[in-house]
Amino acid sequence: MRIRLAALVTAVATLCGLLAAAPAMATAGTPYTNVLTFHGLALNGYAARAQTAGSGSVFRVSAGWSSRHYLPYEAPRVVLQRRIGGGAWRDVRRASFTDSGIAASTGVVRVPRSTERRVVRYRFVSLAGTTSQGFRWQRAVSAPVRIVYENQQRYTGLARTAYRAMRPYCPAASVHVVDRIAGDDGFAGVYREGGTRIDLARAIGRYPAAAIRGVALHECAHQRQFLNWGASPQGWTRMTAAMDRRFVDDAAPAGTAPTRSGEGASLPFDPVEHAADCAALSVERGAYLGYGGWCSPKELRAGRALLQGRTAAR
């Protein structure tokens, strides 16, 4: 199955230290000119310049910033823009200033049925203007980030089979079949928190149909673990604590065969992985499970709740 990569969390660039201070008010007729500089664009809180995602995905774009002068009470107007393919840049929505920078949602992006994929670039633009205090803001533009949205209806073979199993629970998943899982050689699949992409090893195409569905649902459950808790590094931390409370390494009752059977069976118990196994088993009773343990009725209910978009800790 999958080994979750250890802490591939790159925090959003934090609020940068401001540079030289300027007087609180500008002198009449001589407004101070200020400009924002954007730093460290991120998608869902993870530093990235590009992502692959499924049709229907939503991302939160964020960035740190600094300014030439002391930031007055009236901040500049910053908008998130997008460019589809080679088209023009167009406003998506106004961005918000947060404790850690600037952020805005992409909204849901869907790929037309007739198209295999849609390439969309996003950037922040600080608009030019003069505040009521007499501060003048210059126009500033961030570096872009790129997201390739895939049309899952165009999938074939193993990707199509896996997506069909995931679709009721992870409709925005992007499924990639690879020769080997980068960083997880020998494992069947991986979801790396931060987006909606799932990689599956080509070798699982030889598994029984129920086992393929089990692997797909296991990785889908990891995606739900990320999305259900807010799609952010902080949410992933809260989710991990919730899994620790709900999914435990209890022994199978006498006369009940344990489910521990896959490559991960010899690894130390991991509640996050056990939760994904129980989620898969709650839907596909013949699932191939790689991390084992025993899924109690309570854990199966929590696993199903996880796939259904609820926090299993409730």
Instruction: Tell me the residue length of the chain.
Output: 314
**How far from chain centre, in Å, is Cα 258?**
32
Pairing mode, strands 46-47 and 174-178: unpaired
Residue type, 229: W
Sketch out the chain's domains with CATH numbers.
33-150 (2.60.40.10), 155-307 (no CATH)
Do 101 and 65 meet the contact criterion of CB atoms below 8 Å apart?
A: yes
pLDDT at residue 39 in the model: 93
Find the radius of gyration of the CA atoms of the chain: 23
Q: How far apart are CA 200 and CA 189, in angstroms?
A: 4
pLDDT at residue 185 in the model: 63
pLDDT at residue 260 in the model: 47
Helix axes 233-246, 271-283, angle to 10 degrees: 80
Pairing mode, strands 50-54 and 145-150: parallel
Per-residue pLDDT of the chain (314 residues; tens, 9 = 90+): 443 333 333 333 333 333 333 334 444 455 678 888 999 999 999 998 999 999 999 999 999 998 876 655 678 899 999 999 999 999 999 999 988 899 999 999 999 999 999 999 999 999 998 877 777 889 999 999 999 999 999 999 999 999 999 999 999 999 999 998 876 667 899 998 899 999 999 999 999 999 999 999 999 999 999 999 999 999 999 999 999 999 988 777 766 655 545 555 567 789 999 999 999 999 998 886 677 678 899 999 999 999 999 985 44
| pLDDT tens-digit map of 216-260 | 999 999 999 999 999 999 999 999 999 999 998 877 776 665 554
Sequence-distant (6+) residues with CB within 8 A of 270 are 4, 264, 291
pLDDT at residue 257 in the model: 56
Enter the pTM of the model.
0.84
